[in-house]
Structure 1
Amino acid sequence: MNAHVRRLWRHRGTTLPTPRRGPRQQLDLDEILRTGIAIADADGLAAVSTRAIAATFGKTAMALYPYVGSKENLLALMQDHASAVPEWADPGTSLADDLQAWAAALYEVYLAHPWLAERPWSQATQGPHEQDWLERLLRILEGWAVPPTVRPPAITMLYATVRATAETTAAYRRLDQQGMAAWREQAEETRQQIPDLGRRYPLSTSLAPLTPDWQDNPRAALTGAVRLLADALAKRSPTRP
């Protein structure tokens, strides 16, 4: 565990562990992680293995162990590395605008690396980049005087909404013409087989989409959800200090 923590925080003050015997390290950990991330981005998390990564360097799977540790440690290192916080400026014009900026930035990270959503929350890396996201969000809530008692549920709602909408967007992007045709065919068949569907479910069947393009709905839903949450939090907050 000590070695894994040192690898996670290698750019924030710790030193990488070195093998006690054998040849000096010939590979770079950041390059190993970039290779693993590229594989996961292209083919999904299931395609990632120490063997697949090592092969790109002309090495064996065992040769990677001194650099990353176990397979789970490798995935955690990839997860934190892929979660690097991009540069963006908080608008500072309102709580809603600042939360929108934070949520939009994290949403783009999930879209760039859809496999991140496959990693359970119980497997948080406790690494510097994931810590950066939380700290940035808490600074926004602190800056707009959101009461401490409502910060934990607000954080949960924001993370969950960003994750869910990004997952849906990624799934829509993977849906080819054949898949879309099958979805429409089933919807039409349902209407034919259940002719009173509208009477049974009047509210859900009359629900209008947020945007004309169904593929844009997850992003629009994220924007609307953050706005609703920000409005609710603003009512709990005194005037900004």
Structure 2
Amino acid sequence: MMDDIDAHVRRLWRHRGATLPTPRRGPAQQLDLDEILGIGIALADADGLPAVSTRAIAARLGSTAMALYPYVGTKENLLALMQDQASAMPAWDDPRDSLAAALDAWSTALFEVYVAHPWLTERPWSEASQGPNEQDWLERLAAILAAWQVPDARRSTAVTMLYATVRATAATTAAYQRMSQRGADEWLARATSIRAHIPDFGDRYPRSTALTPPTPDWRENPRAALTEAVRLLATALGSAA
């Protein structure tokens, strides 16, 4: 068990100083781990996590599923390695004009990563990869909160709220992007049917039906809501500083 954990950690941190474990049998190195993970990520991006298997990846490499095991370990380890590799943080400069702008830049960058790889939002928080790329995001956010002197007692809560909001809005955006025109039409038809069958629907639910969406384009609403949520959180954190 400990040997498996050690090998997995070495794979996760292979580009940050750890040495890759080498297969115990056969040639020392036949396959490239980055290439294996790149194929797995491409499969997940195209068809979701159910499309990812060692057999599917091996087929792309002209190899066998068993041949991949020494390089990635278990299926869960494979997914964790993919998760961390797909989470690589792009470069950007932290805005210095306000806490809201700095948090918006961080949130936007993570939002774009999640939209590019929607399956990342399907991985439970309990299955964080514990890899360097995911750690980079947390460290960057913690540095922003520290730079703007957010009280220590508020930082963990702010981290949770930001991650949760980014994940939720990115997942919704990705779902909207996958929705066909037929799906959108069916949603509208159901809403119209409810109004027809429940003519006092607005009177029953006056506050919720009076809510105004952030933008006229429903597909853009999750991203707009993220921006507003970050602004509200930054205001609350600023008043607590």
Length-normalised TM-score, structure 1: 0.97
Q: Choose the corresponding residue for 1:139, options 132, 136, 143.
A: 143
Task: Show the counterpart of 1:221.
Answer: 225
Instruction: Write the distance in 2 (CA, Å) between the matches of 1:74 and 1:18.
Output: 16
Matched pairs, number: 237
% same residue? 70
* DSSP 3-state at the match of 1:81: helix
Query: Quick one: which amino acid aligns to residue 6 of structure 2?
Result: N
More displaced 10-residue stretch of structure 1: 221-230 or 170-179: 170-179
Mapped pair 1:83 → 2:56:
no
* DSSP 3-state at the match of 1:27: coil
Query: Quick one: which amino acid aligns to residue 209 of structure 1?
Result: P
Task: Show the counterpart of 2:37.
Answer: 33
Compute the displacement of 1:23 (Å): 2.0
Q: How does 1:1-241 map to 2 (within 5 A)?
A: 1-237=5-241
* Ranges in structure 1 where 5+ consecutive residues have no aligned partner: none
Compute the displacement of 1:20 (Å): 2.2
Compute the displacement of 1:206 (Å): 1.2
Instruction: Write the distance in 2 (CA, Å) between the matches of 1:116 and 1:12.
Output: 22
Instruction: Write the distance in 1 (CA, Å) between the matches of 2:71 and 2:24.
Output: 13
* DSSP 3-state at the match of 2:105: helix
Compute the displacement of 1:21 (Å): 2.3
Instruction: Write the distance in 2 (CA, Å) between the matches of 1:25 and 1:66.
Output: 10
Instruction: Write the distance in 2 (CA, Å) between the matches of 1:100 and 1:3.
Output: 37
Compute the displacement of 1:203 (Å): 0.6
Q: Kindly provide the CA deviation profile for residues 45-94 of structure 1, in whole angstroms up to 9, marking residues without a partner as x.
A: 11000000000010010000010000000000000000000001101111
Compute the displacement of 1:135 (Å): 0.2
* DSSP 3-state at the match of 1:52: helix
Compute the displacement of 1:142 (Å): 0.4
Instruction: Write the distance in 1 (CA, Å) between the matches of 2:44 and 2:23.
Output: 28
Compute the displacement of 1:24 (Å): 2.4
* DSSP 3-state at the match of 1:87: coil
Instruction: Write the distance in 2 (CA, Å) between the matches of 1:14 and 1:175.
Output: 42
- Measured on the aligned residues, the alpha-carbon RMSD in Å equals 0.6
